Amino acid sequence: MRVLGIETSCDETAAAVVTEKKEVLSHVVFSQIESHKIFGGVVPEIGARAHLEKIQDVIEQTMKEANLEFQDLDAIAATCGPGLIGGVLVGAVTGKSIAAYHQKPFIAVNHLEAHALSVRLTEDVGFPYLLLLVSGGHCQMFHVKHLGVYEILGGTLDDAVGETFDKVARLLGLPYPGGPAVEHCALTGDETRFSFPRPLLAQKNYDFSFSGLKTAVLREVEKQGPSLEENKPHIAASFQKAVADIFLNRLDRAMTTLPHLKTVVIAGGVAANQYLQGHLQALVASKDKRLVAPPLKYCTDNGAMVAWAGLEHWRLGHQDPLTFAPRPRWPLGSV
Ligand code: KG4
Ligand code: ZN
């Protein structure tokens, strides 16, 4: 069983072919970072145009590297939301067109579900598991009960965590995307130098809030003036430590409330952060549980996770009509 997956919901034009035996036959990602860099963030209209320009090349290269023709595929999967709707439309329409022309089943993939299931492509992870989904647009915790059954435990009340990394990077004059830049800058910093808030931790739930933390970093940067340059690594490290403490607190709570969940999964772009992974690993191991994160190349947006999510649904007999409407919002709890 071979499935082509197409991903265009943010700033990566990506495609991959994945098999039921968990082989990734090809995996092509074209990053639009250069187009958005000068704006310090993703500009939706520029993104949509860039997806349109690149999608055909990316899919042709994917098929070539897999050494396959479209007829050899069993199904076509494409991200149909949530995301920047201009980009989502490009991938969804392309996927539907290939499916229609070659008379293949089409599967409309929820981008968050693709992140949620991505570890099952590379690791032996069974249901149920606890999931921390942390990306540029999301920060949510789920009890993943089964394929398609995602109970949301909590989520951010304001900014997403990746978005916060991107904003902090901009405040510090670091390049976009901010996550890797902040992580790198923090390597030489003292994480105890500045005391930033850890919002909501007194609340006995699983919610997150990052806007107060972001504002505290802004105030500190304003206060620094000329000494900003020398204190940048310390600010980056202290910010990252605050994020780690927030994650640890919420996860600890969830592991205590749901003790039967033996596996904890971290997914989404922010899961690429090795410092955060290290802290989570220590906590999870101390509770005799297993932390699983996708390999770095499948943390950030990619076609393999979309193909895999499509494959998981398709092998249970699920497919979608070509009239399936792409959507900017599509909460995971409703899949
Ligand atoms: O999952 P993703 O590729 O796209 C969305 O679905 O949003 O996540 C992108 C986000 C960006 O905000 C980026 O700054 C963040 O993931 N990110 C990181 C790291 N690598 C990417 N955040 C923290 N540390 C990293 N190493
Ligand atoms: Zn994503």
CATH, domain range 127-293: 3.30.420.40
What residue type is 284 in one-letter code? V
> Which DSSP state fits 212?
H
Q: Which pLDDT value is given to residue 334? A: 61
Asked whether 220 lines ligand 1 (CB < 6 A), one says no
Mutational test site, ligand 1, from 79, 270, 302, 329, max ligand atoms within 8 Å of CB: 270
Residues 6+ apart with CB under 8 A from 44: 84, 85, 86, 87
The pTM is what? Answer: 0.96
Q: Which pLDDT value is given to residue 333? A: 80
Return the sign of the alpha-carbon dihedral for residues 98, 99, 104, 105.
Answer: positive
Q: What is the pLDDT of residues 107-116, one digit of tens each?
A: 999 999 999 9
Q: What is the pLDDT of residues 59-77, one digit of tens each?
A: 999 999 999 999 999 999 9
Domains 2-117+298-334 and 127-293 share a fold: yes
Q: Which pLDDT value is given to residue 38? A: 84
Query: Where are the domains positioned within the chain?
Result: 2-117+298-334, 127-293
Give me the chain's average pLDDT, please. 96
Q: What is the pLDDT of residues 134-176, one digit of tens each?
A: 999 999 999 999 999 999 999 999 999 999 999 999 999 999 8
Q: How confident is the model at residue 335 (pLDDT cuts 50, 70, 90)?
A: low
Q: What is the pLDDT of residues 169-212, one digit of tens each?
A: 999 999 988 999 999 999 999 999 999 999 999 999 999 999 99
Asked whether 83 lines ligand 1 (CB < 6 A), one says no
Q: What is the whole-number distance in angstroms between the Cα of residue 180 and the centre of ligand 1?
A: 8
CATH, domain range 2-117+298-334: 3.30.420.40
Q: Are strands 12-19 and 2-7 parallel, antiparallel or unpaired?
A: antiparallel
Asked whether 272 lines ligand 1 (CB < 6 A), one says yes
| Mean pLDDT across 232-255 | 98
